[in-house]
Structure 1
Amino acid sequence: MKKQLIALCVGAALSSPAIAQQEQSAATEQQIKQLLQQMEKLQQRVAELERQLDEEREIDTAVVAAETEQVQPATDDEQQVGAIPPRERINDNSALAARVEQLEADIEDAENAPIAIGGAVRSQFVWEDYNEGNKDRGGDFDFDIFRLDFRGTIGDVILSAQYRWFQYMEAVQHAWVGYNFNENWQGQAGITKVPFGNTPYNSNNYFFSSNFYVGLEDDHDAGLKFLYRDDQWDFDIAYFVNDEQGGVDGYVSNREDRYAYDPLGVRLAGEGIYDTPSLAVGESNSFAARVARKYSWNNEQSFEMGVSGQFGQMHDGTDDVGDRSAWALHGVYSIDRWTFMGQVSQYDYDMEMANEGIVVGAYAFYDTIPSKATLYTANVAYSLPVEIGPITNLTFYNDYSLMTDKRGGSEDTFMNVLGMAVSAGGLYTYFDLVTAKNQPFVGGSMVGDSDDTNTRFNINIGYYF
């Protein structure tokens, strides 16, 4: 019984569900519910064992008292087959108490493992109307990523890290250590998320919003961050020495092998939009801040509105060669099963030399963005709990992004993603129909000047553990 209960406890504690995320990092409501149910059953079993122990102790106390009052040989009836002598019962109860104590210790150890290890394995099906070979084959099914997550606390010091392996590259997503100064303030040091815009994501779909492709969504850099949280306010302030690869002269083999987009160079006249930049640059000495006011009227209605900003220098390895800045106004409104999300943001690279845009890199290739632009996003999502075999939730969404007012006057970028996310145990699957113009990963580039609209149908299947 002990082994079965310990196995149940350890299994429940170590099978930490994935956090519901764009890739997810992490957990579905049903998995959390199942975990709580398992722990409740285990606690009930421990309570039952304790009750049995108390009853046995009461019996032994009565037996000992009777033996003290009547010191005489036991009768034949008292020595019948199967009767347990008082001393043996006491020993048996002591063993039971020890088992319960050990079980409680095992429960505590399983619930408080210093560092929890999780991750995900993902693959996807892709159909693209702008890729003739892909269209002729009826689409392609490929491996996407394998990732490992580490999170936990040892001696009040927090660890959070994630590393990803793709077919074509590998990269750290984040890696920081932290400390809770009190119930409201936390500090983080390392490769930590840049506080900007709607969080944790400014989107519902697998492709994020267009902000991600200019470095303004789910970006992580190397530095220090302080977070304040209470029922009404979120406040973040951060200083970043450089990007997650050590800046322009970081010791890496390929600067474009990274999870999130960062500025990596200046696009000079005559260079192609996907070429390796001849003038490499990197982020340096950046500051970022985000503040949001939260309102909650009941369990089914909430609203958050906020403002974000960041400022930093651009360095070529020898000198500062320009500045960059960005700001955003953002808000999220939730009522019942509906969530509405909106954001307007603008960025500006003020460089000392004439240029055709800023070179950015991620996912093993270079791209180009305008040196200045304004972006708008408007998203809506509906979450529907269901019981269809292993499926526990369906989230329907439509995310729209527009990038306009580009320096240089090129055509606007837009992306609309109509989709559905399906939760089923450890599986989290995105079904996305993407319609876009001048959008990376949908047949275009942010600095592109095309009038063509492209379509991509994407199914990303992820198992989170």
Structure 2
Amino acid sequence: MSATLARFIRCITLVPMLGAFAAPSMAVQVTDNLNLGGAVRARWDYDPDRDIQKFNFDTAFLTATYTSDTWIGAAKYRFYGRAYPYQYTAHVGDIQFAESAWIGYRFNPEQQVHVGLNQVPFGLQPYFGSTFFETLGNVIGLEDLSQVGIKYIQQRGDWNLQTGYYLRPAWQGEGTSNGATYSSVVSEADDYVADGSNNQERHTLVVRLAKALEVGTWTAEIGLSGLSSALENQDTHDEGRRNALAVHYLGKNGPWGVQLQAARQQMSPRNPGSDERVTFGGFDGTYNVASRGNLYVADLSYEVGGKYLFEQVSGVKLYANYSAFDKSADEFKTSQRIILGTSFSLNKLWIATEWLYGKNDPYIGGSSYTQSLAAGGSNQWENQVYMNIGYYF
């Protein structure tokens, strides 16, 4: 990254504290079809058990979208660093990576194709629930997953078909770890990961079929997804497999929303040691995930209508989310995550506040980062509070 860009990124980290409430919208419509934008976000972390109380810069990202009757596309690039939990880096931008970068073509209103770094169509879309922090599905590599390939989408009446072929995961960005990507993907383990592995995921095939329906006063979607890929071990040079299957339900009745999902992930790596673990990475870290297990997700939400506090607060949403990763190996401890939260807009800011409660969760309460999703961590319920404040332009 150039010195000029580095200085620019360091400057915009001051926006959340110094000018976000009064800053005018800076969205740039380059043409009738092309828009450029982005966001600057701050975060607050509070964990009294670990004596953590931090309010600082979270991330900055830049976006581009293109929309016409035929050609479409989107790109997003993220910058992290310097502030908690990346205080070990010197500058904003020391950790950076692409979230998406794809172009697409609409054959007609019902059919389109996307090529490039785009979201893999698996399970509930675009996320496995209402939370900002996301579910355990994210850290085991199924939720909010982007890879490099081609995706085809077809809408026919109440049926939606999405199918894709992905040659490889996202390109590595910059960071201090082998996990310098936005999505949680199969990675080479860093030295600090005990019993780590070195696999590369290639040739991912995925199919998602969903049907919209009405049940009484509820509008709903039910769906089935399947994923299969090759796991190429870089030590043994043997090829294993990664397979996943999910069923999901999404329901809406006025302000109420329900999302349910059950998924099975089964990996058969060809590691030189144990095949019970596969190393994943993302957000500048790598960690082990159990090769086989079931993921369960349940999400309940309620949208509060109207505007409040002199019409400055709107779009209030309350939600509760539970996710569990139940591993097949008898000696491996189940990972669980509960999130109670709310999101809303405050003038030009978008804010999410969440209470995180987890057991054997690598991201909550200081349980083992590298082993919680495999053999397990502290095996105790831990909690903390998380808030994200974003100014989007």
**TM-score, with structure 1 as normaliser:** 0.69
- Which structure has the bigger radius of gyration? 1
Q: Distance between the aligned counterparts of 1:429 and 1:203, measured in 2?
A: 17
Structure 2 residue identity aligned to 1:261: S
Instruction: Say if 2:351 is the partner of 1:423.
Output: no
Residues 96 and 175 in structure 2, CA contact (< 8 A), matched pair in contact too? no
Structure 2 residue aligned with 1:229: 155
Q: CA distance change for structure 1 residues 110 and 218 in 2, over 3 Å: closer, same or farther? A: closer
Instruction: Say if 2:171 is the partner of 1:257.
Output: no
Q: Distance between the aligned counterparts of 2:337 and 2:150, measured in 1?
A: 33
Instruction: Say if 2:237 is the partner of 1:305.
Output: no
Superposed displacement of residue 332, structure 1: 0.5
Structure 1 residue identity aligned to 2:60: F
Q: Distance between the aligned counterparts of 2:256 and 2:69, measured in 1?
A: 40
Question: Matched residues, percent identical?
Answer: 24
Structure 2 residue identity aligned to 1:240: Y
Q: Distance between the aligned counterparts of 1:153 and 1:291, measured in 2?
A: 25
* Cα displacement string for residues 314-367 of structure 1 (whole angstroms, at most 9, x for unaligned residues): 113584431110010101110010000100001011123442511111111111
Q: Distance between the aligned counterparts of 2:68 and 2:251, measured in 1?
A: 37
Q: Distance between the aligned counterparts of 1:424 and 1:453, measured in 2?
A: 32
Aligned length: 344
Structure 2 residue aligned with 1:412: 334
Aligned 1:267-306 pairs, distance under 5 A: 274=193, 277=196, 279-296=197-214, 301-306=218-223
Structure 2 residue aligned with 1:451: 379
* Cα displacement string for residues 35-60 of structure 1 (whole angstroms, at most 9, x for unaligned residues): xxxxxxxxxxxxxxxxxxxxxxxxxx
Q: CA distance change for structure 1 residues 323 and 184 in 2, over 3 Å: closer, same or farther? A: same
Aligned 1:75-224 pairs, distance under 5 A: 113-131=32-50, 133-134=51-52, 139-153=53-67, 156-167=70-81, 168=86, 169-224=95-150
Q: Distance between the aligned counterparts of 1:155 and 1:252, measured in 2?
A: 38
Instruction: Say if 2:294 is the partner of 1:371.
Output: no
Residues 245 and 252 in structure 1, CA contact (< 8 A), matched pair in contact too? no
Q: CA distance change for structure 1 residues 276 and 220 in 2, over 3 Å: closer, same or farther? A: farther
Residues 266 and 357 in structure 1, CA contact (< 8 A), matched pair in contact too? no
Structure number with higher strand proportion: 2
Residues 178 and 189 in structure 2, CA contact (< 8 A), matched pair in contact too? no
Give 5+ residue unaligned stretches, structure 2: 1-27, 87-94
SS in 1 for 2:138: helix
Residues 410 and 449 in structure 1, CA contact (< 8 A), matched pair in contact too? no
Q: Distance between the aligned counterparts of 1:414 and 1:218, measured in 2?
A: 18
Q: Distance between the aligned counterparts of 1:316 and 1:352, measured in 2?
A: 6
Superposed displacement of residue 112, structure 1: 5.5
Q: Distance between the aligned counterparts of 1:234 and 1:208, measured in 2?
A: 24
Q: CA distance change for structure 1 residues 333 and 242 in 2, over 3 Å: closer, same or farther? A: same
Structure 2 residue identity aligned to 1:316: N
Superposed displacement of residue 118, structure 1: 1.6
Superposed displacement of residue 394, structure 1: 1.1
Superposed displacement of residue 304, structure 1: 0.4
SS in 2 for 1:198: coil
Residues 245 and 255 in structure 1, CA contact (< 8 A), matched pair in contact too? no
Q: Distance between the aligned counterparts of 1:254 and 1:289, measured in 2?
A: 31
Structure 2 residue identity aligned to 1:456: Q
Q: Distance between the aligned counterparts of 1:255 and 1:408, measured in 2?
A: 29
Structure 1 residue identity aligned to 2:128: N
Structure number with higher helix proportion: 1
Instruction: Say if 2:271 is the partner of 1:348.
Output: no
Residues 265 and 358 in structure 1, CA contact (< 8 A), matched pair in contact too? no
* Cα displacement string for residues 183-241 of structure 1 (whole angstroms, at most 9, x for unaligned residues): 11100110011110111111211211110010110100001110012441111000011
Instruction: Say if 2:390 is the partner of 1:462.
Output: yes
Q: RMSD across aligned C-alpha pairs, in angstroms?
A: 2.6
Q: Which of 283, 291, 315 is the equivalent residue of 2:232?
A: 315
Q: CA distance change for structure 1 residues 394 and 252 in 2, over 3 Å: closer, same or farther? A: closer
Structure 2 residue identity aligned to 1:256: G
Give 5+ residue unaligned stretches, structure 1: 1-108
Superposed displacement of residue 110, structure 1: 6.6
Superposed displacement of residue 158, structure 1: 1.7
Residues 308 and 327 in structure 1, CA contact (< 8 A), matched pair in contact too? yes
Structure 2 residue identity aligned to 1:123: A
